[in-house]
């Protein structure tokens, strides 16, 4: 049974709404129509506003003018995935990685697409590649834990969820496990998912069938399921 939870996935922030508005980039492009940075930033802003077609047009123009602009390929990967074309997204991410293999964000975003295809071995491999470049990359730590969980490598998943929470919550090296499970004041979908799965796995390792939920106050609620 899939352990996916709605709302836990986010793209890395290369394709996001930038500071400044479309008017600023339009003005810059009026002065220099071939400014690839202005085109890229306008495409990112359009993406942030939900205009995928216009974002794609600007990002494609960036590549036409500057074929080595790795972030534009990454942006087109994200646009393609949201347009429902994950195969094309994987192609674009691969091109971005070929141009800049030291950028961990590219591997993470490709892992998100692999995850959407339920190709968990590939998602895990890309998460590991991202972490090799940036061991404190929280999103990649979560991806690694999630993929391991889906692959039923539960003990490894438990450790990776702990690593994710330790980084996300900025805990000291001598933290206690209870510090990971007791974090209702810092809730977000990923933190909640990790806390729930960690406690669920811990019970499962003891042979107990439980349902763990997050209460309205952020506390974890454990229900022991009846054995038929």
User: Could you tell me the residue ranges of all domains in the chain?
Assistant: 1-136, 153-228
Does the domain formed by 1-136 have CATH 1.25.40.10?
yes
Provide long-range contacts, Cβ within 8 A and 24+ apart, for 191-195: 191/165, 192/5, 193/5, 193/8, 193/146, 194/142, 194/145, 194/161, 194/164, 194/165, 195/165, 195/220
pLDDT at residue 186, rounded to an integer: 60
| Residue corresponding to tokens 């922030």 | 13
Count the neighbouring beta carbons within 10 Å of the beta carbon of residue 73.
24
The yes-or-no verdict on residue 19 having pLDDT over 50 is no
pLDDT at residue 175, rounded to an integer: 59
Banded pLDDT at 185 (limits 50, 70, 90): low
pLDDT, greater one: 119 or 182: 119
- Express each pLDDT in 20-49 by its tens digit: 588 889 899 999 999 999 999 999 999 988
């Amino acid at each position: 049974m899939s352990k996916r939870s709605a709302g836990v996935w986010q793209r890395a922030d290369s394709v996001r709404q930038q500071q400044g508005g479309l008017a600023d980039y339009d003005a810059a492009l009026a002065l220099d129509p071939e400014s690839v940075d202005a085109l890229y930033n306008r495409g990112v802003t359009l993406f942030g506003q939900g205009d995928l077609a216009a974002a794609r047009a600007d990002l494609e123009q960036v590549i036409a003018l500057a074929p080595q602009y790795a972030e534009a390929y990454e942006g087109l990967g994200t646009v393609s995935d949201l347009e429902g074309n994950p195969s094309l997204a994987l192609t674009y991410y691969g091109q971005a990685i070929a141009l800049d293999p030291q950028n961990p964000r590219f591997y993470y975003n490709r892992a998100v697409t692999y995850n959407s295809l339920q190709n968990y071995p590939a998602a895990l491999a890309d998460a590991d590649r991202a972490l090799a470049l940036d061991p404190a990359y929280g999103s990649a730590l979560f991806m690694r834990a999630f993929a391991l969980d889906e692959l039923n490598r539960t003990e490894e998943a438990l450790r990776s969820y702990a690593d994710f929470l330790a980084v996300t919550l900025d805990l000291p090296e001598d933290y206690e496990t209870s510090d990971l499970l007791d974090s209702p004041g810092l809730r977000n979908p990923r933190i909640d998912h990790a806390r729930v799965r960690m406690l669920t796995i811990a019970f499962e390792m003891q042979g107990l069938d439980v349902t763990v939920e997050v209460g309205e106050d952020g506390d974890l609620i454990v229900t022991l399921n009846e054995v038929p």
